[in-house]
Amino acid sequence: MVGVARRMLRRQDLAEEAVQDAFMRLWRSARTFDPKKGAARSWLYAILRNCALTILRDESRFVSDDDAADEAAPMTESALARLPETSALRRCLERLDAKRRSVVVLAYVHGLSHGELAGKLGVPLGTVKSWVRRSLISLQECMG
């Protein structure tokens, strides 16, 4: 179970915490398990997945620091540099505000969750979600 959580959370300490939370939830809700609805293993992993997703949504787990925010720009620029200069995607990404471009690239190229982005950039989770949504709408309009 730790291995599955580790793949989702990318940090050993958070993976161990997710497994601990999952076992606590299992202990408290064991009487609700119904073998007619599915296998016990599936139920266990569903609870673990929910615990891991809860941790990913909690931006306070991903502490912001100035160095982490400064790392976002080079990661974004290197991803943009790999796109051909004539690429429509590159042209549309360059039209976005720098922070919004970083959020999109970090989420979709580097695979950061909304919580990780909020912690890395030092902005609230709702702001990150809004930036991602609005940026994707802008990209869709530009590409369409």
Task: Among 57, 79, 102, give the residue marking a domain's end.
Answer: 57
Within this chain, do residues 105 and 43 fall inside the same structural domain, yes or no?
Answer: no
Which residues fall within 8 angstroms of residue 135, CB to CB, at 6 or more apart? 96, 100, 101, 103, 104
- Residue ranges making up the domain that contains 49: 2-57
- Tell me, what's the pLDDT at 54? 87
Within this chain, do residues 53 and 90 fall inside the same structural domain, yes or no?
Answer: no
In which residue ranges of the chain is pLDDT below 50?
Answer: 64-69
Task: Among 28, 57, 86, give the residue marking a domain's end.
Answer: 57
Q: By percentage, how much of the chain surpasses pLDDT 70? A: 87
Q: Model's pTM, two decimal places?
A: 0.53
- Give the CATH number of the domain where residue 126 resides: 1.10.10.10
- Tell me, what's the pLDDT at 133? 93
Structural domain total, the chain: 2
Task: Among 37, 57, 77, give the residue marking a domain's end.
Answer: 57
Within this chain, do residues 80 and 130 fall inside the same structural domain, yes or no?
Answer: yes
CB 52 within 8 A of CB 5: yes
Within this chain, do residues 88 and 131 fall inside the same structural domain, yes or no?
Answer: yes
Within this chain, do residues 41 and 107 fall inside the same structural domain, yes or no?
Answer: no
- Tell me, what's the pLDDT at 137? 94
Run of H or E residues at 78: helix 66-81
